[in-house]
Amino acid sequence: MPAMARGVSLFLVASLVLMGLLTGCRFDFETREAWRAQAEEQCLAEKGVVASAFMEPLSALNGSGSCGMEHPFQVHAFAEGNVVLEPTGKLSCPVIRETDRWIAEVIQPAAMAWMGQPVTAMRHMSAYSCRGMNGDPNAKISEHAFGNALDIGAFRFADGRWVTVKDGWRGPADARGFLLQVQAGACELFTTVLAPGSNMFHYDHIHVDLMRRTSGRAICKPAPRPLPAPLVAVKAPEPAQSYPPVAYPPPEPASLRPPSAPTAPYPAAPVAAPEVARQPAPDPVPPGALYGAPARTGRDVPARGPVPPGNLPPGNLPPGWIVGPEGQRPPPMSYAPGDHGPATTGSVTGRKYYTAPVPQASTMPLPKAKPGED
């Protein structure tokens, strides 16, 4: 009977192992290295990360196998809230501290040099994730499983523009120069940096982690080849300077004002000289008496109907003037073009042009002036 029980147990274990191999599941019976918890505690003791609204401390994470961390943080933003992490992610204290350094010492200087404005957000593709390397369940466990790695896929700048690693790595000069400088600077802070060109799995993001190797070596792929910085740093337009409103003292009440000087009296009105009786104006000289009769042009318009003798003007009328019951008036004038059509003048066909009115002379005789009246 015991032999039969042992046979059944071995059969069940073999079945489970075979099922795991067929389904791709990885049974990881490894234990978490001691140095990971020590690194977290040392980082906290050195105040590498301080709890805030942007760094939310969480309870210890213990995933399957050795996944997890003792002092995780839910990260909402780096650089004291100035660089948002989209979406939020769980990370350990050591990688948070180095990412803050990366932003301050590398990313922001590169952003100002190449883009003329700072980075305000980073979009990550993976933070804490209990999995094998490159997402392979049968591979060695990833640093992401300990919250000790971060994959950055894009950067947002102050003007709202996004530069993605996938499109910008071989894209425009400003985006490419920025990303190459960001990757080169990361290799000085992290023990592993993998960017586009390192392998087929990192074509669209920059992977950084703080993995400890027994050999002590670091991995930085591809080899950093930052472009020379622009001779003149790109400068973002500065916001318009606002000035505080000028504060004027309140008006002083009239009762507190010092008495003003007495107003000088107005000068006396001048005495008007005695008026002299006005002489009547001489009769006007007819135009024909000075210059002779004007030449006939053939444009004179004959008067319409009989004209009362009292309405006839002295002398001859100018050419074209009309005399009628309403008095004398010049000929009508029009501003319409002569022989030019709509194609020449740009006018609308059938347009009625405006005729300017001309002031009319009065037909009533002026009254005689009376002495002593204005």
Give the confidence band of 21 by pLDDT, cuts at 50, 70, 90. Answer: very low
Tell whether 156 is covered by a domain.
Answer: yes
Higher pLDDT, 249 or 132: 132
> Looking at residue 350, what is its pLDDT?
45
pLDDT tens digits, residue range 207-256? Answer: 999 999 999 999 999 999 999 988 755 555 566 566 566 565 666 665 65
- pTM equals 0.57
Q: Rounded to an integer, what distance in angstroms lies between the CA atom of residue 305 and that of residue 325?
A: 8
Handedness of CA 85, 96, 149, 203 (dihedral sign): positive
pLDDT tens digits, residue range 37-73? Answer: 999 999 999 999 999 999 999 999 998 889 999 999 9
- Domain total of the chain: 1
Kindly tell me if the per-residue pLDDT of 31 is higher than 90. no
Q: Which contacts qualify for 134-140: CB closer than 8 Å, 24 or more apart?
A: 134/199, 134/201, 135/201, 137/24, 137/25, 137/26, 138/24, 138/26
Tell whether 303 is covered by a domain.
Answer: no
Residue 66's DSSP bridge partners are none
Region 270-290: mean pLDDT is: 59
Question: Are the CB atoms for 303 and 323 separated by under 8 Å?
Answer: yes
Question: Are the CB atoms for 224 and 187 separated by under 8 Å?
Answer: yes
Which residue range(s) make up the domain with 100? Answer: 29-221
> Looking at residue 60, what is its pLDDT?
96
Tell whether 273 is covered by a domain.
Answer: no
Kindly tell me if the per-residue pLDDT of 270 is higher than 50. yes
Higher pLDDT, 23 or 148: 148
Tell whether 265 is covered by a domain.
Answer: no
Kindly tell me if the per-residue pLDDT of 123 is higher than 90. yes
Which of 109-113, 212-216, 226-230, 294-298 is predicted least confidently? 294-298
pLDDT tens digits, residue range 72-102? Answer: 999 999 999 999 999 999 999 999 999 999 9
Q: Rounded to an integer, what distance in angstroms lies between the CA atom of residue 316 and that of residue 224?
A: 104
> Looking at residue 102, what is its pLDDT?
98
Tell whether 150 is covered by a domain.
Answer: yes
Tell whether 3 is covered by a domain.
Answer: no
**What average pLDDT is seen over the chain?**
76
Tell whether 332 is covered by a domain.
Answer: no
Q: Rounded to an integer, what distance in angstroms lies between the CA atom of residue 210 and that of residue 58?
A: 21
SS3 249: coil
Kindly tell me if the per-residue pLDDT of 200 is higher than 60. yes
Question: Are the CB atoms for 148 and 211 separated by under 8 Å?
Answer: yes
CATH number of 102's domain: 3.30.1380
